[in-house]
């Protein structure tokens, strides 16, 4: 078998890249190690930037999003149980859209299958080979049978634990990482959201976030120590602690109920450089991770797809390598800006183990300044809705 591009990983970034390449007549195939059912079962949040929406429109998969997504013109911030609003629309003339990453994946799968695109699920032992030569290929096993796909280029969209990044020689690749000394305990409940917009709360006990999936499905998080155990948290204990951290108005009106999902997630910032080597190009979590505080994970993956798709289109339609040669530089420029913003949101709204009363006062002053400074609000708003590609 031969394809122009082999895409390793059938998450939203791999599927989006596949769809865009197919629209341009560039032959490609997606190799996903998990079943389609498993991929569809991954529950992920989704706060989509305007640039991400435009990319999904370009891919022809925005119909359901436009009907079911929730456009948010602002976000709520809180400190010392006092809340205030950042008007994203007024400050940037843009908004964000709440639409689950799982739904984005479903839309892409549906469109690719309808258009007879190539996706191989349950692809085992996927391995890109000879990517440093002019004859790269990818091997994998399907139903116990080893297969080989010859190609021009390989896109590694297989996440932080995928094989693609490990192919780059250690002497060439450099990693930057910050592990945060806390996690997020999150619950999903069949209750109406406490607010029409997301609430990010700084509190002496730790960070809290009020989010939503739809009008009757809410997602809430509280900061916990890394070694915390889920079994230590009954639903009632969670709700009591969440109310302590939210702004008073939200705490007084929140509707509580039984959780239908409960999990603890660690937080980290990670970037590898470069994001390409010879005929291999890394996309999304394969190259970078951001803490969820700034809502940048999926959006960064989509911006990678933007740069790589543009480069591949020029490569095949205009026979120029310039875009491919600049892919890593262009992608990393935007990645590091998002890493900085997510780091700022994380360090401003979370309580660190060694944090003193002085440090807490600095956080309070930072957020109070934000409340009263239009210039500061505009910086936050520009980053939150997404910097331009």
- Positions annotated as catalytic residues are 72, 200, 292, 296, 384
**For residue 218, what are the β-bridge partners?**
189, 212
DSSP assignments along 24-55, one per residue: TT--EEEE-SS-HHHHHT-----EE-HHHHHH
Q: Which residues of 10-27 are buried (b: 16+ CB within 10 A; e: fewer)?
A: bbbbbbbbbbbbbeeebe
Question: Tokens representing 61?
Answer: 């998969």
Residue matched to tokens 């891919």: 59
- CA dist., res. 328 & res. 307, Å (int): 9
Alpha carbon distances (Å) from 58 to 6, 21, 304, 306, 384: 21, 11, 15, 11, 22
Peptide bond into 92 cis (omega under 30): no
Question: Tokens representing 2?
Answer: 């031969």
Contact between residue 3 and residue 29 where contact means Cβ atoms under 8 Å apart: yes
The residues, ordered by sequence, that sit 6+ positions from 209 with a Cβ below 8 Å of its Cβ are: 184, 198, 199, 200, 201, 220, 221, 222
Residue matched to tokens 């008007």: 87
């Amino acid at each position: 078998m031969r394809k122009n591009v082999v895409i390793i990983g059938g998450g939203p970034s791999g599927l989006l890249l596949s769809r865009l390449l197919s629209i341009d007549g560039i032959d490609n195939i997606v190799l996903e190690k998990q079943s389609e059912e498993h991929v569809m079962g991954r529950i992920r949040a989704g706060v989509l930037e305007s640039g991400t929406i435009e990319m999904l429109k370009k891919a022809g998969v925005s119909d359901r999003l436009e009907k079911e997504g929730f456009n948010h013109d602002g976000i709520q911030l809180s400190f010392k149980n006092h809340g205030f609003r950042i008007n994203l629309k007024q400050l940037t003339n843009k908004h964000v859209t709440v639409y689950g990453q799982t739904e984005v994946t479903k839309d892409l799968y549906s469109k690719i299958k309808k258009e007879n695109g190539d996706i191989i699920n349950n692809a085992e032992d996927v391995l890109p080979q000879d990517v440093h030569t002019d004859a790269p290929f990818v091997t994998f096993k399907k139903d116990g049978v080893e297969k080989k796909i010859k190609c021009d280029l390989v896109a590694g969209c297989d996440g932080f634990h995928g094989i693609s990044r490990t192919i780059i020689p250690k002497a060439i690749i450099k990693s930057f990482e910050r592990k945060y000394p806390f996690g997020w305990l999150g619950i999903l409940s069949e209750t109406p959201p406490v607010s029409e917009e997301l609430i990010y709360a700084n509190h002496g006990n730790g960070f809290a976030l009020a989010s939503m999936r739809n009008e009757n499905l809410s997602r809430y998080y509280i900061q916990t120590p890394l070694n915390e155990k889920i079994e230590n948290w009954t639903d009632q204990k969670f709700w009591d602690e969440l109310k302590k951290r939210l702004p008073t108005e939200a705490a007084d009106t929140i509707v509580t109920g039984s959780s239908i999902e409960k999990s603890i997630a660690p937080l980290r910032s990670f970037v590898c450089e470069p994001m390409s080597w010879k005929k291999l190009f890394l996309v999304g979590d394969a190259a970078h991770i951001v803490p969820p505080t700034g809502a940048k994970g999926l959006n960064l993956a989509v911006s990678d797809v933007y740069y790589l798709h543009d480069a591949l289109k020029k490569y095949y339609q205009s026979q120029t390598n310039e875009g491919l040669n600049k892919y890593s530089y262009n992608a990393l420029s935007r990645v590091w800006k998002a890493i900085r913003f997510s780091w700022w949101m994380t360090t401003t709204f979370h309580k660190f183990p060694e944090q003193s009363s002085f440090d807490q006062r600095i956080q309070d002053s930072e957020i109070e300044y934000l409340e009263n400074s239009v210039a500061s609000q505009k910086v936050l708003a520009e980053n939150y809705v997404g910097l331009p590609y």
